[in-house]
Copies of this chain bind each other. A is one copy, B any other.
């Protein structure tokens, strides 16, 4: 490894001047700057991030944490899409992402401590669980932070406009003639779940449509399997709905599977609209009509917000609501004429 001292020796200047030349300080002449830069590339000099961070107290890294509740981590298409977008934007600004865990070498600690140890400049967390203690702890620290997919009145959050998204879905279904509309919901302890339920209810009320309790089914944590179970429950009802709004694409896909297996045709017998617009939604049969979350924009928005806090060294408390969009495909159809 070649250091600024090596450059100093080679060029005949002091390490101070070398450092300054490398960092564009004004008090070094053009000529010496050129000379130093030149031999730097000649000798293949690379700065040492650790030394730099130690000295400047800035590491140019951002810690990322996934809610571990759903145990899928990077594999979840929605999460990974957001992170990928976040990453691209953060990179442009010069930040690298570091994925840390709860355990520090053998000893286990909290995420916060781990990030503190790593000296990250900020944290991005993707979590839906508003009462995750790990997340709370980080929010209450004074590390710059942005959280995605949940609300919190103590930090910057960015999330989709799930209330409108719910309404959007219902209004669309209604525009197709449906009046008996059920909702397979995400757990109400989760913000996304709750908001979509609200959207459902709000739209239904505005349309003066009934929302019997049996039509509101808690699908839990958005998994395919839970979607299956929820749909099974729904299909056991004596009075079936003609359309159902499902709070997540994974659940919707599970639900469709069960529906089809029971001989109910989609969309002829039952219209289904999902939420998220994961890749798979375009390739199941029928193609899933859904409400798209703008993962790209969620990611860059989060990055912007975090970086802003880091540069102005000041916590920003805000809630960025990202619009969602209806994606019409094939899983919804007009209400069949009653015989």
Contact = CB atoms under 8 A, between A and B. Distances in A.
Contacts of A117: 46-49
Contacts of A294: none
Interface in A58-90: 59-61, 72-75, 77, 80-81, 83-84, 87-88
Contacts of A253: 283
A106 B93 CA distance: 8
26 contacts: A46-B113, A46-B116, A48-B119, A49-B117, A49-B119, A50-B51, A51-B54, A54-B54, A72-B84, A73-B84, A73-B88, A74-B87, A77-B77, A87-B99, A87-B101, A91-B101, A91-B103, A92-B103, A96-B98, A97-B99, A98-B98, A257-B283, A279-B280, A280-B280, A280-B283, A283-B283
Nearest to A98: B98
Contacts of A313: none
A100 B84 CA distance: 12
A47 to B, nearest CB: 6
A96 B91 contact: no
Interface of A: 46-51, 53-54, 59-61, 72-75, 77, 80-81, 83-84, 87-88, 91-92, 94, 96-101, 103-106, 113-114, 116-119, 224, 253, 257, 279-280, 283-285
Nearest to A60: B105
Contact of A75 (B47, B80, B105, B280): B80
Nearest to A84: B74
At the interface, is chain A mostly helix, strand, loop or mixed? helix
A75 B80 CA distance: 6
Integer count of this chain's copies in the complex: 2
B91 A81 contact: no
A83 B224 CA distance: 22
Given A61-B98, A283-B283, A284-B284, 14 more contacts: A46-B117, A48-B54, A48-B119, A50-B53, A50-B59, A73-B84, A75-B77, A75-B80, A75-B84, A87-B99, A92-B103, A97-B99, A253-B283, A257-B283
A100 to B, nearest CB: 5
B101 A96 contact: yes
A43 to B, nearest CB: 13
Most buried by B among A50, A103, A118, A253: A50
Contacts of A92: 103
Nearest to A112: B46
Contacts of A46: 113, 116-117
A114 B91 CA distance: 12
A77 B61 CA distance: 25
Contacts of A84: 72-75
Contacts of A91: 101, 103
